[in-house]
Structure formats: structure tokens, C-alpha cells
Amino acid sequence: MKLRRSALVATVALVAAGALNAVPASAGHPERPADLSLRALGQRSDLAIGTAVDMAALDDTTDPQYRKLVAEQFSSVTPENVMKWEVLEPTQGTYNWAPADELIAFTKQNKQRVRGHVLVWQNQLPAWLTDGVNNGTISDDQLRDILHKHITDTVSHFKGKIWQWDVVNEAASDPWDSPSTIHYKGFWTQHLGGGIIADAFRWAHQADPKALLFYNDYNIEAFGDGGPGDKTQFVYNMVKQLKHDGVPIDGVGSQGHLGTQYGDYDALQINDTLNRFTDLGLDVAFTEVDVRSQMTAGVQAGDSNEINPRLQAAAADFSALMQGCLANRRCISFTVWGFTDKHSWVPGWFKDPLEGMATLYDENYQPKRAYNTLKADLIFAGRR
């Protein structure tokens, strides 16, 4: 029988280590495993590797590769849209659980965990709700009861099936908003005040005490100057206060929507930021990672002079987030917001100028440099 090269090296190393009464080589240099899927590599470091799932793509029988890769590469999934309020309750009092239930069944088959997304967010709300508030037929007191019911019904329906819930999403403003001092923004806090955030966590916890409850936001990958325009600092202060007040919050989700045209973060900056959050006694997770690029005429024409630097910069950004996460044991999952450019929210959202190329696989499901870089990071980590 032929020993694999890595196994042979490991055997020799173990014998040598035994002779020297030293730590086995495998402790510092884990061998390259046979299963090189992202999910298997992540497991070696107790890190769930997740993806957002587009149910239309998962159900598309003409596109079997999508379903195959979700199952093969990922140990966690997040419904990209089907647990949002407009999908769950398009008509008041009539729930549409079917698409989300279908995803849960898929994850059961494939031994995957689920990040529930999302309970309190200002986007993708049903028209009956926003219209009712706008035309005055829903008062603020009624709105509060409606939100309480939504959280209770939704979390109860999925009780025991959700690992992490994004309870509150994107409640902090951005420095480019007016005023530029970071503040609570959006429908819920406008109508019900900042205290609704704590209540949402309490209501979710009552409905499923075992689910991990997260605050989730973008542009909080690194601290700025710590001043009034620093969004990461604002979120930090908010979750610190929630913890202090005994609110049942378990973690902070950092979305990780990056772009190659912006300043890069390095892995240590990322890790420092995560460490500050986990020092508060919270878990952290990257929840929606993608790295977009401007689709110039040259990129669209296939000019490698323009494409290659973007692929390299994207790989570096994915890797900085992954390395920062791997260096903190309370970073419990790393989720990409779609894994193929064939199904990514980016080109539909950033149209002028057009952006794209944001995911790990191209439109033909060919893995890009970023995919292999993440794998290399996971191989080198061997965090156990």
C-alpha cells in the first residue's frame, strides 16, 4: 500500500517527535486533508463556512451545479430573502413559511446549520405594514404589538432549527447620512425609538432561548477614529450597553461587503476589531462577505490587465477577513453573500458604475483566486 506523501511525512514526524519527547508535528503543522471543501476545512478550526442561498437558484433544475455546491462546500446557510417579512407575511395574518421550510429541509439533508435572517429591518417589509403606518391606520402602539407578534411567530415557527438569528439588522446610520454623527436610522427606531432594539432581543429570546441572537451590520469591519462619525464605535457602544443592561444578545455579525476600489483592511486590523467585540463577552461572525469590483469597459471586454488586479485584490480582502476571524476563537462562522457571480445581488444593486465579480466562483462556477486563498488560509490555520 502506498502511503500518501502527507501521511508519510506525518508518520516520520511523529516518530521523530516521540524520540525527542516533543510536541507532535501535527500540533503546529496540520497535514493537508483529503477533503478540501470549504466546509471540511472550516470544521478543522471549528469554523462554520456559510453562504446565502437564493431559493430560485436552489430550485432551478436546469442549474444543478448551484445546489451541488451549496451542499458540498458549506456547513451553514442563510436564506438570502425567504425569511424576510415581505416574503413570510405578504398579507397580514397569512404566513408563507413554505420557501424557508424547504431550505430548512435541505439543510437537514445536508447536515448544515442555519443563520436566520432577519427579524427587524427597515427593508423588504410588506406593503400592508408600511402603507398602514403611512396612512395612519396603524398607530405606533399597534406597530409595536405587530412587531412583537412577528418576532414571536417567526422565531417560534423555526424554534430549534436556527443556530443564529439576525435579530436586528442595519439600525445604525452611515457617516455619509445627514447628520453625519452616527445615529439610529430606519423605520423601526423612527417609529418606536431606540429601546425597540433591546425589546426585539428579549422577544426573540423568549420564543427560542437556545438560538444565538445577533446584531448585524455593514461597514463595521474596523474601527475608525472612535469619534462621533465612527460607525463601528457606535455599534460597539450600543452592544456594550445592551450587555450591561442584561439584554439577551449573543453576538455581532459583521457583514463584510467590501470593494476592491476602497482602502483595504489587513488581517490584524480585522482581528483587533473582532477582539474588542469578543472582549465584551460576545461571539462574532462574518455574515455577508463579498468583495465587489467596478466592471469597467476593459473588464467587460476580458482585458486581463484590468481583471487580474481585481481578482488579486478581492482575494486579499476575503483573506484578511478570514485570517482575522481564524485568529479569534469566538468568531464562529464565516458566511459569503452568495458564492457565484451567476447569482449575486451586486450587479443588480450597483449599476452606475456597474460593479460585479464579487463572489468566490465566476458565472460558470469556476473557482477564483479568492476561493483558493480562503482554502489556503483554512489549511494553514488548523486551529484545533
Query: Which candidate, 104, 127, 101, 124, places its Cα nearest to that of 114?
Result: 104
Select 289 or 326, whichever has its Cβ closest to ligand G3I.
289
Q: Out of 11, 91, 92, 123, point to the residue binding ligand G3I (CB under 6 A).
A: 123
Cβ proximity of 154 and 119 under 8 Å: yes
Window 234-273: contact mask with ligand G3I (x via CB under 6 A): ---------------------x------------------
Residue 233 contacts ligand G3I per CB under 6 A: no
CA dihedral 72, 88, 342, 45 (to 10 degrees): -30
Q: Pick the closer one to ligand G3I by CB: 150 or 369.
A: 150
Cell match 481564524: residue? 326
Q: DSSP 3-state assignment of 367?
A: strand
**Quick check: 355 binds ligand G3I (CB under 6 A)?**
no
Closest CB 279 distance from ligand G3I, rounded Å: 26
80 flagged as catalytic: no
Closest CB 54 distance from ligand G3I, rounded Å: 7
Residue from 288, 317, 341, 377 touching ligand G3I (CB under 6 A): that is 288
Which CA distances in Å does 146 have to 57, 133, 167? 32, 11, 15
Q: Is residue 124 a contact point for ligand G3I (CB under 6 A)? A: yes
Site for ligand G3I in 36-75 (CB under 6 A): none
Is 170 a known active-site residue?
yes
Check residue 342 and report its DSSP letter: G
* 255 vs 273, beta carbon nearer ligand G3I: 255
Q: How would DSSP label each residue in 241-293?
A: HHHHTT----EEEE--EEETTSPPP-HHHHHHHHHHHHTTT-EEEEEEEEEEE
Task: Please name the helix (run of DSSP H) or strand (run of DSSP E) that holds residue 30, with its range, or none.
Answer: none
Contact pick of 45, 75, 76, 81 for ligand G3I (by CB under 6 A) = 81
List residues with catalytic annotation. 170, 288
Instruction: Enumerate binding residues for ligand G3I (CB under 6 A).
Output: 80-81, 123-124, 169, 255, 288, 345
